[in-house]
Amino acid sequence: MADLKGKVALCTGAGRREGLGEAILKQLAADGARVVVTDLGTPQTHMGAEHIGSSDEMEAVAEDIRRAGGEAITVPLDVRDEAQVEAAVAKTVEAFGRLDILINNAGIGYLIKPVTEMTREEWTAVLEVNLMGAFLCTKHAARQMIKQGEGGRIVNIASQAAKSGHPHMSAYVSSKHGMVGLTRTTAVELGPHGITVNAVCPNHVTTGLGSVQNEYFARYKGLSVEDYLAQMRNNIPMRRVGLPSDTANAVAFLCSEAAAYVTGEAMNVSGGVEMH
């Protein structure tokens, strides 16, 4: 268990029930951090109600944390909008006095189709959320951390897709490879300020997003979802798919004092299926 008492953490894309963001914030709150739940709140183009955390869902995540004894607020946030990003950091500081931890988790992973059929608008939507959003949040969170003068932690939720290619996921894979590049560059720049920047690269986790991917790739391979998942498990040395808690535990470590000298890394959390 990490000791994060006195720390304040903001996580993007954290409003979906049973999603990675929810699991991450609940773990950080259990470790003592005060947390900020952010998500889009209302549907946008290419981001329908079934793919985002609604305002009600965000509040439900925050209320779960409060009932468990933690402190949490909610802030609607479109990570593509720099003014909203800057405002979310300001609201965090207004509520809790500081910002110590940023988790860049917001992402689109459900626009799946052959590269020959991917539209410019779809490609742009994925890159703007997954990579531009991480850049904007890093920029403004880092400014606040530098101002505080006490270091900080930035953790980017990348993917196995940040390490390997996957069919029909050109935009997603490109965005996650780019996220690792952003991680390494900002680790070099922000290290002198005591701010570490790392990425976590999970393999498949059956969240709401993971379920969409399961259904798509089962059809693509001509398998039932059950047979597709069985095949996936057999290819993983640990013989199971990832759990949200696996990613949350890795994030908690990287946010802890035990990881104070770890920066610029892209940590696999894949049960052994990804080893580079």
* 131 & 165 share domain: yes
Domain tally for the chain? 2
* 227 & 250 share domain: no
* 82 & 109 share domain: yes
User: Rounded CA gap, 204 and 269, in Å?
Assistant: 10
Count of Cβ atoms closer than 10 Å to residue 12 Cβ: 30
Q: What are the structure tokens assigned to 138, written together? A: 């890093």
pLDDT tens-digit profile of 219-233? 989 999 899 999 999
Residue 2, pLDDT score: 81
Quickly tell me which residue has 């470590």 as its tokens. 253
| 172 counts as catalytic | yes
187 Cβ contact list (under 8 Å, min separation 6)? 196, 197, 198, 263, 264
Is residue 274 included in any domain, yes or no?
Answer: no
Q: Of 7, 110, 176, 228, which is the active-site residue?
A: 176
What is the average pLDDT score of the chain? Answer: 95
* 93 & 181 share domain: yes
* 98 & 233 share domain: no
Average pLDDT over residues 223-250: 94
User: Rounded CA gap, 77 and 168, in Å?
Assistant: 28
pLDDT tens-digit profile of 167-213? 999 999 999 999 999 999 999 999 999 999 999 999 988 776 678 88
* 234 & 252 share domain: no
User: Rounded CA gap, 58 and 183, in Å?
Assistant: 27
| Domain containing residue 105 | 8-205+243-268
Q: What are phi and psi of 3, to 5 degrees?
A: -105, 100
* 140 & 187 share domain: yes
Calculate the CA 66 to chain-centre distance.
22
How many residues in the chain?
276
Residue 209, pLDDT score: 61
Is residue 1 included in any domain, yes or no?
Answer: no
| 221 counts as catalytic | no
* 97 & 191 share domain: yes
Question: Residue 91's domain is classified under what CATH number?
Answer: 3.40.50.720
Q: Of 147, 172, 221, 261, which is the active-site residue?
A: 172
